Amino acid sequence: MPLYHTDDQAMLADTVRTFMAEQGGIKSQLRHWRDTECPDGFGHGLWRQFAELGLNGILVPEADGGLGMGHVEAGIVLAEIGRNLTPSPFLTTAVMGATALAAASDELKGRWLPGVLDGNAVLAVAIDEGTKHDPQRIALKAERAGKGFRLSGTKSCVIHGASADCLIVAARTSGDDRDADGMTLLAVPKDVAGVRHDRIRLVDSAMASHVTFDNVELDGSAVIGAVDGGREVLNRIVAAGRVGVSSELVGVASGAFGITTAYLQTRKQFDRLIGEFQALQHRAAHLYSEIEIAHAAAYKAQQLLDAGSPDAELMVSVAKAKASSAANLAVREGVQMHGGVGMTDEFDIGLYMKRERALTEFMGDGNYHAGRVAELSGY
């Protein structure tokens, strides 16, 4: 398959770009929810508009009421989310959550998919328990209790955790913390007793929560996939999250680069547009090249994932690492090239810097994924 959009994909991209420029802009979304100290950190109105456009079902099979598209298409949406810094539960709900639900029982699907599809529900995924991404380590205990389970433990920095109607939780049902087996995915509804959220606002104004599970009782229908056999589904969720956030990072990089080159084309110092200075031109040209390459890597990873290729895992890590480093360069150059005003909250470039940092951390930073590339390549 060639690495450029089909006509359908190009049309989707146009639609989403126009819609997001109109509705998802920094002022009307990010700044608005930040400055009003919204406890969700995002707007439910926009989330329902996403649903009206069908975007929430982009990865949901047509049979289940979705659009039945793939990661390439999800990436198109996420790139625009990134470009506009739009706070949105799209990634955790429509990408990672939907990937989890695809493996769930009809009962669970019936309970949660309608809300996802109509924009009335939000999902969040609780995997990591430490400060660095490490899905190989799942310690939160789910002991058998009657026909169900009793959960005890913590999950750290769950994005949209307290806003989510349902948490997809990776729990240890047998074996040791780092065992691949013995891990079970559970759908934990918001209102169940014993779940405590400590809300935290992150640097990019997104809301996350540290979640404590204190003898939380769930019945057996909460299980997604097989008991002790959640790893494969978790891998799919994780891959979807990683490649999705890669596209979002590419969007962040492009957005930051766009306002930076615009600034270079208008700001004057020493009687010249600063974009005339060759040192800045070369750095901008290098940055362009990095963003283009990151974009290609994310695109390729999405194609491989959609095709079910065995090379997908490696390429997903390449994409996440490359998108992180390109976006990091884009925001660092962006702030520096803006000079003093780039340091002010009044300008948007600093917001890109904050978002880049959070997204780079989310689902494994560049170093984590470089390490994965080494391991998967056998060194």
Partner 1 sequence: MSELDAFRHEIRSWLEENCPAEMRRPVTSESDACWGGRNYTFQSEAQRQWMERCAARGFTVPMWPTEYGGAGLSAEQAKVLREEMARINARSPLSSFGIWMLGPALLHFGTHEQKLHYLQPIARGEIRWCQGYSEPGSGSDLVSLQTFGEDRGDHWVVNGQKIWTSYADKADWIFCLVRTDKANKYQGISFLLFDMASEGVTTRPIRLISGASPFCETFFDNVKVPKDQIVGEVNRGWDVAKYLLGHEREMISATGGGERATSLGAELTRQGIELDPVLRAQVALYDVDALAFAAMSEKFSDEARSGRAHPAQPNMMKYAGTELNKRKHELTMMAGGTAALEWESEASGGGARSRGWLRTKANSIEGGTSEIMLNVIAKRILDLPGA
Please, which residues have CB within 8 angstroms of residue 93's CB and are 6 or more apart in sequence?
56, 116, 121, 122, 123, 124, 160, 164
Based on the shown chain and the rule CB under 8 A, indicate whether residue 281 belongs to the binding site for its own copies: yes
| Minimum CB–partner distance for residue 279 and its own copies (Å) | 4
Task: Indicate the residue among 277 and 347 with the shorter CB distance to its own copies.
Answer: 277
At 370, which amino acid appears?
A
Measured between alpha carbons, how far is residue 209 from residues 100, 126, 128, 154, 197 in Å? Answer: 20, 10, 12, 11, 6
Task: Indicate the residue among 64 and 306 with the shorter CB distance to partner 1.
Answer: 306
Report how far residue 83's alpha carbon sits from residue 16's, in angstroms, rounded to the nearest whole number: 11
- Quote the tokens at residue 295: 């974009």
Residue 259 interacting entry, from partner 1, its own copies, none, C-beta within 5 to 8 Å by type: none
**Residue in 36, 131, 278, 377 binding its own copies, rule: CB under 8 A:** 278
- Quote the tokens at residue 324: 């992180």
Near partner 1 by CB under 8 A, which window of 21-29, 137-145, 183-191, 274-282? 274-282
What does the buried/exposed string (b/e) look like for 339-360 if buried means 16 or more CB atoms within 10 Å of the residue's CB? eeebeeeebbbbbbbbbbbbbb
Based on the shown chain and the rule CB under 8 A, indicate whether residue 203 belongs to the binding site for partner 1: yes
Measured between alpha carbons, how far is residue 269 from residues 25, 134, 265, 332, 337 in Å? Answer: 30, 47, 11, 20, 12
Based on the shown chain and the rule CB under 8 A, indicate whether residue 282 belongs to the binding site for its own copies: yes
- Quote the tokens at residue 26: 């920094």
Considering only residues 254 to 273 of the shown chain, the ones binding partner 1 according to CB under 8 A are 261, 264-265, 268-273
Report how far residue 321's alpha carbon sits from residue 369's, in angstroms, rounded to the nearest whole number: 6
In the block, tokens 């994909």 appear at 9
Task: Indicate the residue among 178 and 272 with the shorter CB distance to its own copies.
Answer: 272
| Minimum CB–partner distance for residue 362 and partner 1 (Å) | 8
Considering only residues 133 to 192 of the shown chain, the ones binding partner 1 according to CB under 8 A are 133, 156-157
* C-beta separation of 210 from 156 below 8 A: yes
Task: Indicate the residue among 271 and 346 with the shorter CB distance to its own copies.
Answer: 271
Based on the shown chain and the rule CB under 8 A, indicate whether residue 288 belongs to the binding site for its own copies: no
Based on the shown chain and the rule CB under 8 A, indicate whether residue 279 belongs to the binding site for its own copies: yes
Q: Which helix (H) or strand (E) holds 143?
A: strand 141-145
Alpha helices by DSSP H, listed for 265-311, are 278-306
| Minimum CB–partner distance for residue 340 and its own copies (Å) | 20
In the block, tokens 């996440």 appear at 320
| Minimum CB–partner distance for residue 232 and partner 1 (Å) | 24
Query: How many residues bind to its own copies according to rule CB under 8 A?
Result: 5
Residue 322 interacting entry, from partner 1, its own copies, none, C-beta within 5 to 8 Å by type: partner 1
| Minimum CB–partner distance for residue 317 and its own copies (Å) | 23
Based on the shown chain and the rule CB under 8 A, indicate whether residue 63 belongs to the binding site for partner 1: no
Based on the shown chain and the rule CB under 8 A, indicate whether residue 144 belongs to the binding site for its own copies: no
Task: Indicate the residue among 11 and 374 with the shorter CB distance to its own copies.
Answer: 374
Q: Which of these, 283, 284, 378, 373, lies nearest to 320 by C-alpha position? A: 373
CA dihedral 30, 33, 35, 37 (to 10 degrees): -140
Task: Indicate the residue among 1 and 279 with the shorter CB distance to its own copies.
Answer: 279
**Residue in 322, 330, 333, 363 binding partner 1, rule: CB under 8 A:** 322
Residues of this chain that interact with its own copies (CB under 8 A) are 277-279, 281-282
